[in-house]
A = this chain, B = another copy of it.
């Protein structure tokens, strides 16, 4: 009995809510696409999650793909918007700045919701060149620029070696990507210990593995 109230948290919500529907559908879509990607995502399930019937989706979105685009776009902007201002102040040693940047990156990209987005785009990016492109500029592009600034400042202050890394700073954050990828594939069977990995990452990034610095 009381079929309406037991699968959604809200009770007594009105049945006709034109304004709220699109956002609710997009939200349900994000969760479904995160779990299953585009192909395995199921519109009946999305509808059920959103507390509506499948037909209603088509009142607001032209097709599954249109809903997917809307979901991705909203997700990209919301996830990326968050980590905007956090790194803006350039106080501290280069070592501190880089450490803070990495912590931030692991937090968002490895543990947080950005990972699901990353996975979707890695999987289904071919069909979304425009999304891929804006994702690139919001993440890789921006991150690389920020890193270059930090490193250049470090060189000026006499803290940082001049090296090819200055032009390709992605190698510095690569282990974080590795960690995310590893957990995507092996989390259930062979999880990585975050603390140890992070420590090793920091250590290699700052000092390398060799004892001597001569060629």
Binding site for B on A (CB under 8 A): 37, 39-40, 94-95, 98, 119, 121-123, 125, 129, 132-133, 135-136, 140, 151, 154, 158-161, 163-165, 167-175, 177-179, 181-182, 184-186, 188-190, 192, 196-197, 199-201, 203-213
> How many angstroms from the CA of A214 to the CA of B174 in the assembled complex?
24
B196 near A164 (CB under 8 angstroms)? yes
21 inter-chain pairs at a CB distance below 8 angstroms, sorted by A residue, are A94-B210, A98-B209, A119-B122, A129-B189, A132-B186, A133-B189, A133-B190, A163-B207, A165-B204, A167-B196, A167-B200, A168-B200, A170-B175, A170-B178, A170-B197, A171-B178, A174-B175, A177-B181, A205-B208, A207-B207, A213-B213
Q: Which residues of the other chain, B, contact A178 by a CB distance below 8 angstroms?
A: 170-171, 173-174, 177-178
